[in-house]
Amino acid sequence: MSTSDASSHAFKKWASLLVLIFFTSVTSIVSQRSRGAGQARYSIATSVFMSELFKLSLGFAMAVCSKRTQTAPATDGTTLPLFSEKRPSQDSDDASSSSSSSSDGRPVSPVSPRSPPMAPTAPSLQDKVRHVFGEIYCPSAWMMGVPALVYVCQNMLQLAANSYLSSIAYQGLSQLKLITAAVISSYLFRTTLLSSRQWLCLPILLTGVVFLVQKPISHHDVMDAAAMLSSTEPGFDSPFKHRLAGSTALLGSAVALARQHASAQLAVGALLMVLACTCGSYAGVYIETKLKTSMSVPLSVRNAQLATFAMITAGAAVVFEAIAQARWAPFNNFTALAWFTVVLRGLAGYVVSATLRYADTIMKGFATSLAIITTIAMESILTSQLPSSTQFVGSSLVLASTYCYIRVGAARKP
């Protein structure tokens, strides 16, 4: 590799990592603000359905654009690898058998001067669409149904968690996928045996997450609690009459109520994120162990296939939601932030895959953890509040443990 090529590759690597860091932080902040306090709640099922529709459209368009020359239609069957062409040995056997005899049994020359090999031609748009459609919706496409269903559950749980967590807490709790993936791959599928150093990184990661989710109650929360307490006058014999004895007692009660509310919000959000990380880890390990050996398929085709099954599941959720509410209003309360969230979540898989073209898994995992720091910085600018010391400690622990965990795992690979 020449010096110019090396410099170009290094630039693309660091540029892609910066894009991933910025994209992860923006997605976390936009998703939280689209469902945070003061925002009208839109349908989670509809948001997931539209994200998968956008992902399917983008994957189909990318697959069509990648078809530059005319190729033979793909053959697929239950005994062949997923979306793979015929094996080279079969091609050679077919070629030798067809060249040794004709239809009436007479031998023919293996090379005929009258039929020279045809040069590849540029296919028409209709041929490209037909070929991509056959690749995506082949008989073995059902194999992606299980991970698609689990990914839909993950996306719904993540959007629900955004209603209860801050963007920093959400970003920190999302790093728990390292722990859930390690447990699932080690004990459920029994495919990965972690080293002692990797197991040591997991409690450090968990400690950092605990620091990150610690959020001091704001002045706004206390004032809301005080307003709620003072809006209802307790009875003369009420045991809560002392709360209104003075401003000091009212303020103390408001602080206690605000803390209880914050603890409840954190508990619900953390539970949703643990379930989301479990679903995402299960789907990732399932694809890695069950389907990796039988998938020689472009990323655009795989994403389009996953999105197709995910749309079926999310579409059913939209219908059941409408039946439960006795009205059909799937796009009710869809603001600009909600649509921005749809686009960002639809682009997530493609941004990560583009990053892996120039950077390895270690740098990708490091960049994802580094997004916690950028999220803290962006939130500080948006809220005009300085980050707390617990956030700095938590982000440092998460960053160090994630980097060591992925680096040790990559070093153990043959």
Give the pLDDT confidence of 287-303 residue by residue, as tens digits: 777 665 555 667 788 88
Q: What is the pLDDT of residue 183?
A: 83
Q: Which residues pair with 295 in a beta bridge?
A: 82
Report whether pLDDT(162) > 70. Answer: yes
Task: Write the single-letter amino acid at 313.
Answer: T
**Mean pLDDT score of the chain, rounded to an integer?**
77
Report whether pLDDT(250) > 70. Answer: no
List the structure tokens of 226: 């005080």
How far CA 14 is from CA of 8, 347, 367, in Å, comes to 10, 19, 10
Look-up of token digits 């799937």:
330
pLDDT band of residue 89 (cuts 50, 70, 90) is very low
First to last CA, the chain: 24
Q: What is the pLDDT of residue 286?
A: 81
3-class secondary structure, 88: helix
How far CA 395 is from CA of 147, 357, 375, in Å, comes to 30, 27, 10
Q: pTM, whole model, 2 decimals?
A: 0.74
Residue 143 CB-half CA count within 13 A? 24
Angstrom distance (rounded) from CA 133 to CA 121: 20
pLDDT band of residue 340 (cuts 50, 70, 90) is very high
Report whether pLDDT(78) > 90. Answer: no
Q: Lowest-pLDDT range, 83-87, 312-316, 407-411?
A: 83-87
Angstrom distance (rounded) from CA 364 to CA 356: 7
Contact 195, 211 (CB under 8 A): no
**Which one, of 86, 103, 132, 43, lies nearest residue 331 by Cα?**
43
Report whether pLDDT(272) > 60. Answer: yes
